[in-house]
Amino acid sequence: MNIKPYVRKAQYYETDQMGIIHHANYIHWMEEARVDFMEQVGFGYDRAIKEGIDFALLGLSCEYKSMVSFGDTVNIEVSISALTVTKMTVHYQITDAITGKLRTTGESIHCYFDSNRKRPVSLKKVLPELYDLFASYVA
């Protein structure tokens, strides 16, 4: 299945005093894109929660390459760059929707978390369907 980039238009309230998107907003955009990715692959975040699995954030990085300003539209490409039975690394590439210019890259690392027992689990054991689905999208 071909995953479409998540498209996001920069809003005025997301800007800082210099008129560019405040750095903290990119983290929200990555989360939005990750949730969209899960919907596109056919196993939405809401379904994972209903199955008792959540994704605890272990780490996050972001490199700003060029500025995004109010009104700009960006494409956010999401891929799984690493996968084990207990965690995954998600990669993000944010580009200008018109010019294709690279704006930001980032990664988030997540462990699979049993939302009922409040502890990490092996996704391959507790929800093999989702693990296999993620494995088919590792870049």
Q: What is the pTM of this model?
A: 0.94
Q: In tens digits, what is the pLDDT along the chain, a chain of 139 residues?
A: 789 999 999 999 999 999 999 999 999 999 999 999 999 999 999 999 999 999 999 999 999 999 999 999 999 999 999 999 999 999 999 999 999 999 999 999 999 999 888 899 999 999 999 999 999 999 8
pLDDT of residue 118: 86
Sign of the torsion angle spanned by Cα atoms 18, 23, 26, 28? negative
pLDDT score, position 6: 98
* Dihedrals phi, psi of 42, to nearest 5 degrees: 95, 15
**Whole-angstrom Cα distance, residue 126 to residue 80?**
20
Q: What is the pLDDT of residue 83?
A: 98
